[in-house]
Structure 1
């Protein structure tokens, strides 16, 4: 009988520890849900800020064209297209010898 009482003490301690762990586990599960919701809200806020800063901000315009004699010389035509556009020509950033292309700017 005495032996059974000695075994009962550690079992009670183990059960009380288990109950504490279950309570902590429930609290952690609630915290995870809150953290997930806050993370989603933060992501939405970041996307809105990025959209406003990129799409709604005024974009830089190309400088006024100046026909300098030492720039945009064409000794021979380029071997593709009409021969006046470079391989990676961007009409919004690159001017031709005659100036910027019409309708290329916003």
Structure 2
């Protein structure tokens, strides 16, 4: 055990010295990398978010707000056990205009 400690101690000192040298050299590179990412954030990321917002707004203007036709697919009518909230038939984020129940839309046609 003591022999292993005597053997590993010089290796650890060498490794520690190399790590400090690399750390000092990398400090300038780290500053440059941070500056590069900051520039990319303002020049690429923010305009990309703006373009996505514009695209979403324009698509929303042309979107039809009519309900899709209800088709009673058998795999959509499976309820092995009721949901643990409400009446057990509505999903957690149920929207009566868009989400149909197994028997059809609620409240008839709008």
Question: What is the TM-score with the length of structure 1 in the denominator?
Answer: 0.41
Of structures 1 and 2, the larger Rg is shown by 1
Question: What is the TM-score with the length of structure 2 in the denominator?
Answer: 0.40
Greater fraction helix: 2
